[in-house]
Structure 1
Amino acid sequence: MREDSILDSNPPLGCSCRRVNYLALLLATLSPIQLARLQYGGGGDWYNDPDALPNLAREISERTSILATEEQKVLTLMDREIENYPVLYMTGHGKVSFSKAERERLRQYLRSGGFLYADDDYGMDESFRAEIAEVFPNSELVELPFDHPIYRIFYDFDNGPPQTHKHAEGPPKGFGLFDAGRLVIFYTYNSNPSDGWTVAHNNPPDVREHAFRMGINIVLYALLN
């Protein structure tokens, strides 16, 4: 963990932006956050690894000053209460399909301050990319540089996202989509950290640890940006 983490009890006084972020986190601790899972159409197993988010929420509460409830919320894009959840998570092995209304709703949600984290569990890459291209036709998913704050905000990842499970040739990659200069979507490919949040895969302790660290970084970044 970074010694100058924004969650330190005594943030450096020489950085006004850090003080603002610190105050934002203090406000976030006044009530617990709840992580939300996206239920989508197309046949993909959106429900995969149901204990992943509850386990991540527990780690967030234990390691940071933010309290996260261990009960996940399942939402569709058309649920009106989606705007009450700042972080939306989706995963799966199969096809992702959004209706026209769902695409519009996702665009509205993200432009209103929401954040989507998508983790390919092998099999959703092509359809997910196609749907996101419909949601933001004038933007594209780009690989994030290793010095992006999402890899530094609490734990340091010098080489990008960890490779919890290898599903394809090549290194793990983290992609982002920016809208009006703001990162609104983070997408991990050939990385699959959410598989490390669940106990079902019996990952080695060090693999699970890196997966949880990446998850904590993602949530904290989403809450602060």
Structure 2
Amino acid sequence: MSRAAFLRLALAAALLPVSARAAQGTYDFWFTRLKYNSGDWDVDQRMPNNVLTSLIDYTNLRVDPKERIIALSDPAMLAAPFCYLAGHKLVEFDPAERRNFAAYIRNGGFVLVDDCNHDIDGLFAKSFEAEIARSFGPRALQKIPRSHPVYSSFFKFDGPPATGLELNGWGDDLVHDYLKGVMIDGRLGLLYSNKDYGCEWDYDWKNKRFLAVDNTRFAVNIIMYALNS
């Protein structure tokens, strides 16, 4: 873990009860889903277990096997090594949510944001991108080049893997050949997807054996980048 990430976790952990700090010391990684007051944050409920299983299978990380759900307005989210935020509907942060979201990213945190509509003109995309512009500026959200380390941090990809949900007769009906993100001092602090990875990775774990290639490998890349950048 980088020095910046370590300092961020140490400072944030100071806000937590002793029992919570002890529990976090047991693990290198825990999956944090951010709960926000607007929209529908509780999507793709099987996805975290599939991602956590892949981390256990492929890496040596000490992984908490249970998803943690934390309100975006709760300072406890500032101690998370990685956060996930998704939905289909309106994203409109309240002042506490907006403050924590910006502070977390600016101070070394990493958030994967997934548009479950996979639609660049949909309600989630438009409202979330407006939130990003409000917190980080109108030009903060930029396309991520295919040479970015997130595509080679563990497995090798030549760009963002396609999902089976992008060409289904609704949404914008196109395959997105890029992801977007917000860079802070040369580090990717927010990775933004219109590809609906959450739904792609949301399946009964017993069905994973039918996949020709494990599609959660890119999730491993994202998380390993988040932990080491």
Shared fold, TM over 0.5:
yes
TM-score, normalised to structure 2's length? 0.77
Unaligned runs of 5+ in 1: 1-19
Who is 1:175 aligned against?
Answer: 180
Q: Which amino acid aligns with 1:35?
A: F
Query: For residues 198 and 110 of structure 2, what CA distance do their matches in structure 1 show?
Result: 16
Matches within 5 A, 1:28-107: 31-42=27-38, 44-107=39-102
TM-score, normalised to structure 1's length? 0.78
Who is 2:227 aligned against?
Answer: 223
Cα deviation code 1:117-164 (max 9, x no counterpart): 001110411111011111112642111111111011111221323224
**Contact 2:90/2:127, CA 8 A, preserved across alignment:** yes
Who is 1:126 aligned against?
Answer: 126
Query: For residues 111 and 81 of structure 1, what CA distance do their matches in structure 2 show?
Result: 16
**Contact 1:146/1:159, CA 8 A, preserved across alignment:** yes
Q: Structure 1 residues 164, 187: closer, same or farther in 2, change over 3 A?
A: farther
Higher RCO, 1 vs 2 (CA within 8 Å, ≥6 residues apart): 2
Query: For residues 149 and 28 of structure 2, what CA distance do their matches in structure 1 show?
Result: 24
- Residue 97 (structure 1) shift: 1.1
- Residue 33 (structure 1) shift: 1.7
Who is 1:205 aligned against?
Answer: 211
Identity among equivalent pairs (%): 30
Query: For residues 63 and 139 of structure 1, what CA distance do their matches in structure 2 show?
Result: 36
User: Per the alignment, in what secondary structure is the counterpart of residue 117 of structure 1?
Assistant: strand
Matches within 5 A, 1:183-194: 183-189=188-194, 191-194=195-198
The answer to whether 1:163 aligns with 2:158 is no
Q: Which amino acid aligns with 2:182?
A: L
Unaligned runs of 5+ in 2: 7-24
User: Per the alignment, in what secondary structure is the counterpart of residue 31 of structure 1?
Assistant: coil
**Contact 2:85/2:113, CA 8 A, preserved across alignment:** yes
Who is 2:19 aligned against?
Answer: none
Cα deviation code 1:171-192 (max 9, x no counterpart): 2231111122221100111x22
Query: For residues 183 and 51 of structure 1, what CA distance do their matches in structure 2 show?
Result: 26
**Contact 2:182/2:189, CA 8 A, preserved across alignment:** yes
User: Per the alignment, in what secondary structure is the counterpart of residue 187 of structure 1?
Assistant: strand
**Contact 1:139/1:177, CA 8 A, preserved across alignment:** no
Moved over 4 A (4+): none
Query: For residues 114 and 138 of structure 2, what CA distance do their matches in structure 1 show?
Result: 22
**Contact 2:75/2:100, CA 8 A, preserved across alignment:** no
Q: Which amino acid aligns with 2:152?
A: R
- Residue 32 (structure 1) shift: 4.1
Q: Which amino acid aligns with 1:115?
A: F
What number of residue pairs does the alignment pair up?
197
